[in-house]
Structure 1
């Protein structure tokens, strides 16, 4: 009963399943048994063969290692191989010294035969090689024969012989009968083949007496024909030979006794033989000795039925020039220095005669080198050449062939036929014509010129390598060129003869037709630089070699060239960046390698209406056949200086910039001779131009030179050489004579160039003419030198140097003067200013006692506008920093700061009454005023007295002092001193000075050094009165005078009661010594007037308890005279006591209350030695009559002088002069906090009542 869902199985199904495993088991068991039997058999075989395999592998390994160290000799194979080969040679015999096996370059095995030689039946050696690589024929081995299927001769030495009658023959060793000198020409060989011995040698290296037997020549054509016939008939071993080759072979070709050497790095020849024809093909790499290798492929089909040999060849990378020296017939190929690719088909007879040939060549980029001009090749871009030869008719046909070069192209055709009559040296007559073409010169940017006609005919002599040119005619672009001559290259020396004529032609036609091979440098120069010309015609002749007479060779080229051509209406660009040169006519001559162009008149065209004339022009060049010939131009010129300046402005020269010459406003005459050397290059660098010239410039004029100066009467000599240029001469600058020198070294950098030098010696008039308003500072002759050069950064540098040694220098404002003879110099750099037009940088004045450094700014009108002197020293003591600026109102704003100032000269000038200022010239263009602000730590005065902390503010408008405020402190008692200027409304300007120590103040300014103590007050009316420029009053109170020689003489003479009319200040003859006395005074009042160099004292008084005096008179500083007088009153305190009594007092003491008794005196004479006169009789006169005895005028005044310099206002009497009387007592100059006790309203001490 079935309880599952499975289908119910039938009864026979289970039985079948039980039988199936038993069958499989039986088959598996059978296979296992068979495998077991096989494995047992293999195991037994392996067990048996394993030792043999291991032994074979060991032998192979040992053999490989042995071969790595060198070839292995298999000498036992020599005899079987010889027998096998000799059996197939049909009468010839082979001798082999040894058979070796070695590793090839690819790592495989290679069989080599050593010293292989082949003998003919008579025993002559017909072939030999030191080594030969052999591959045995497998098919021959199956027939139990040992013959080669491939033979490659290694480093053989082959000799080819060719003669007109015998054809081409070959041998493998040089016959003894040939020229023994050949051994000197050949390099040593690595292996020299041994001659064939008469019997087998005992060893492979044994020598043989057969060495003396000469090798025999092999007729190649016959050998090829015979071997091919035997191979087709299967008569010998050649029927098994499939490949023949050469490796590193040396081939010596003997052509009618002349031997040349060839190298064949590789040659492989394949052989195929059929019953009626044989095909031999191959590939070779060949090079003539020293030449570039080229590839040759060929296929030779030999037909037994037609007894002909068809040869097809192709050549790649062949340069014909490299094989031109092998045989004379190829000598013409030396002109073809260009690569050639081509194919050739040649049909030969079995005897080696050529029946027909065709040659198709493709020409690559290269050059044509004429044998007579090998140094000047003609560049060729490419072309094609198609030639056919008919051996029966002995005729060569040139199919249309094309040649192109540098934008030119020509297609030509023609033919050549052998002339009858001379079979030994045949000649060929040729005739060539051009079918189309054009000539161009793309580098010169000229249009192509179409070819109208080209025809050439003549003869070719191959045995001499000669071409005879009977007729040559070329017409193109309106030009016609005719030539005739000859060319020989196969005989020594190479010879050329060419003669021809040129018809008139345009310039562009000449540029297009001019071959680059002829004078390439001159051609390039003409092509690039001649822009207009009309060629009038010419003729030429070229000779070389045997056509030259003895001794006519010129230079290393050994040729003679003559050329003559005339041209008109020429325009050329000689130097870049310069205007062109035009000439109406020129004649060009070439003799050998020299060129000469004669131009009678020419001109440099500046503009249609302006030009620089040139005369006697001659252009020459040497070695014009070289790449870069050197030319020389010689000419004279008489142009105007204006045109020369314009020419220089357009040139690359920087002369105008270096010298600072203006571009306009220059006139003059020039007479110059020039010689210019330059290479004939289209791209001409300026550095390659060499100029030599001598010129003279006369009557030169410049309207504006270095600013607003005018130059006249300039005369210069200019000298230019290859290395430098220089100019020297003189000129008048604003009427002042100046000398100029300039030099330029061409190879030196700008910062190393000598500067332009301008020298002159300026006096007062010269400086005025030049507009230098400095005569109020400088007097006398001053040599100056102005140099103009270039700095490291190509900026212009102008330096001024002046020698002030012989000049008189003065600075009136500070009372400084340098007398002539004392050393001093000025130097500065004149540069372009930042704010104003010019700056004097690095301004330095140096001398024995002066050192000023800083800079100065000058405006367009040459006016000083600004200065700054950080170091301002007028002597060894003064140290200041001074800075000034001229404002828009023409007022100087000056600041002075410094630690010390030596004021002694300044104070001394105060008592010269303006003599220093009056003697100095006035500036022509004075400024409107000055505002000075000075702060000085110490002002050095006289008698070792100084002022500390001096501050001064000063203002002047014109020549008038408008403001002054000076403050300081005197040494010693630390007493202040002050000077101020006041001007009240409607009142004159008044100067007030005040100090509480009169003695120190007077010593400080060197006024009177014998006063001690006291108080001094000074009031000065700066407006003056009448002829007096200034009036004033000096008060001194409570002071004493130490013994003064003059005072002691006056008072001493009065005490002695003697007359002093005869005496001087001192009388040594009397034997009396002047003792130093002290006189005390209570008041000194000195009214004074100043003007015209005169100092006038008006009724001055001196009062004291013991002494008193009154004085009046004049001191004339210009005349150096003194005339003072007064009254001396002893015991003035007592003498003047009666002055208070009404009516009676003035009568007995005098109207000025001097005293009851007094003695008049006078001080007269020269200022250097005044004479003191005392009148003792005046003591007897009462006071009212004492003035009768006075010896000076009662009312001294300032006297006018007609020769005196005018004042600032231009008149003697100032328009602003007033009659204002001075106050009776001066007021206080400074505030009460500085000096107390008096003011401008303070009155003088009251007098006693009468």
Structure 2
């Protein structure tokens, strides 16, 4: 069948159509032989000359070629008035061929003559039967067939119809009612499809009714490869009407052959499959299809896209459609496809775009799906079923390209949308698809996720995501004809339950979004929580997860957790499998309470069997309202805010808070690892004040500490053991006082305090060391069970440069001052603040037991073996014994005075005491009493010394003095048995600079001596003067009387006659000078030879 359109070239006028020409020729043959037919019976074979005349008549003017007849027989056996012509081996030779090629071959033709016409004297055929006809035809690229009837052909189908009607209604064929051909074979060279068609076993029936013409053609067409196509063509024409109705039934016709017949069927050109079904159409007088209806069943075959793209197989398809030529519109009442990958049923319409003859450039259509099932083999875990859908698309045919403007598929209330294109390129398929769905359940998403598309990502999501909804899913898939495919996926999610680390509690109530690219997956939570075994839910809002390379199975993942909830819950997560951070550190998850907000970064492989060694992590956070009564046993540690830092090495908490009632600032650190198991450390700064002492149950003497300072403290926590601490302070802003040593530190001065020990009840203090202006001490402290002071033993206490000795402090119970024991060491009275001013330094103090090694009174004067006791309660008082420079024993009594602590020193070996003290080496025996009273000035005393019955011998200085005054007998006595002084006395003034002697004298039977002056400590020099009175027993008698004492002797020790002297220079070897003339001036007149008493220089 041939379709002509207004774009086709008009067929050449000289074309002729074979069938009509043969029929007209047969009519002329019948007329020639009409006379011979009347009155004959039986079969009559025409003679050769008659047959030749017939061939010549049929060939003359026949443009198709010469006609040859094999045999012509007239059969009158049935009815003499209805004879039958039988012509065998009729051939038509091709006139255009160089050789005698057969164009038409009719092995057998039977023509039955109409009886009524014969009775009227005319021979008219009533029916024609052809058997075994063979024909060779060709079709040009414009679709025209080169069979013509001779003469100038009709211009269009309407003219053809008029011509055919005229022939069948004309005088020769007007009686012809039926033409039937069986066993037909036709060979067609088809330039339109570039194929050679071979039609076999054709059957043609033509019926001529008074008002209609109808024809049917049944044929078989042998395809390449041996396949056979059968077709039944029916044509119906109402005489006088301008159109023809055509119906075709096909069986196993090649899709592309069908597509080549009409632009309306061109969409079949991309199929390589057999087609069965029916087509009905109306051909207008112009040759145009005014309508086309089809019902096609397409067998198993392939989609042949062209280019280098691989074909796609399908099992079967169906199409029920209508074509409106005027609108170039195809309406599909139903179109269905069944392939190994999908089953689809749809309806819709498409417009032909770019029509050129029987071809089109594209189809633009809209379709709705009644049913769609996607189930590619080994691609989906279960079939994807869609109850309805819609598609807006454009399909370009050569090469194939399908542009999807919009595709919508519905599964229940789930709406899937897609757009993009599929194109056949020379290198292969090019695919670009963008898809989206507003809301999709997780299980449904995984069912729709192709098994071969990012299988590792799909596997991870299947194993880790348990349930939830995906929102506003947007997917982009790109597969270039050359190069790797790319996939992008954006989605939100809600009510998601997923795991971020195997064995960890799942994330529940997850809401957020995700982005997946060709290699990377990123997830972010807006909402979500995990519920650990204890502590309640833990919010993970703001957390993110990234898989940098989703192509690696078990590859690394980066998780940024933002957690908020109870501290217990956060610690439970850190201590959960596979981490067990706290368990490995020996820490309980109940170590503290509070609310935690943290950010934890994890880098780990996303596979089973992850161990702690596989995980790299770090975290920072904040704990509010933190409280712990287990971190430091027995003490409540509370902080409004704590900063948290953690990594694989350990965890630290830092901030400001209170330890009990004491303000603290610092942090707690727990290192991870077997060697740190059960061990942690607290480091920080704590307030030192009375509150600190009260909190830790440290009872110091009243007034020992005042103000508030700070200390750096380190506390080592070992599970099952008492926390050990080390405290270090600069003592700034603290007032310290040791009453027993009369030492104190003002708040502005700094020092150093270090304390080590263990917390508990009571606190254990292993070591204490203090360095402050005027005080250095180190030792240990033991507290009673109630926390009160038991013993504070200091190995060495150095105070003010004057005290250096071990000191032991013993508590005596509540409200009682401590007992002090000084066990060794030394006291330097030259620098001592001991005794102070005012009422003494013992206020608030207690008893002091002394056992000093040395007490340095002055240069060269050292008390050793000092033993005794003091009482610092109230005003300082006490008594101790000692030896002067390790030799002469003395007894010292301390007593309070109005201006401080007074001193009374008593010795029964006065001479030895003076010698041991380096004051006077030649004295022996006698009793000495020294009394000193503070003046109110620092280290300044006024006092008096009294000595009785002392003997002096071998005294170089005195010898030099006696030699100077030429007292020979006294010198001999001095170097012999010695000079006895029955008494010696002096008033003393003691300052840090030196000693001033006033009204000093020593008297005895042999002589008397007076002395006044100074001894400069700093320079170790003497500057003394006085009077030496020989034979004092007689010479001083007048001085001893009240009447003449002041006249003959200004002071005790001076007589009527005496010599004034001076001692000046180094104390070890002073220079002695005597004024001999002074002996001539008795008593009061000697003052003329004396200067004013010297004084100690102030500088």
Question: What interval of TM-score do these two structures reach, taking the shorter chain for normalisation?
Answer: 0.3 to 0.5
The higher radius of gyration belongs to 2
More helix as a share of residues? 1
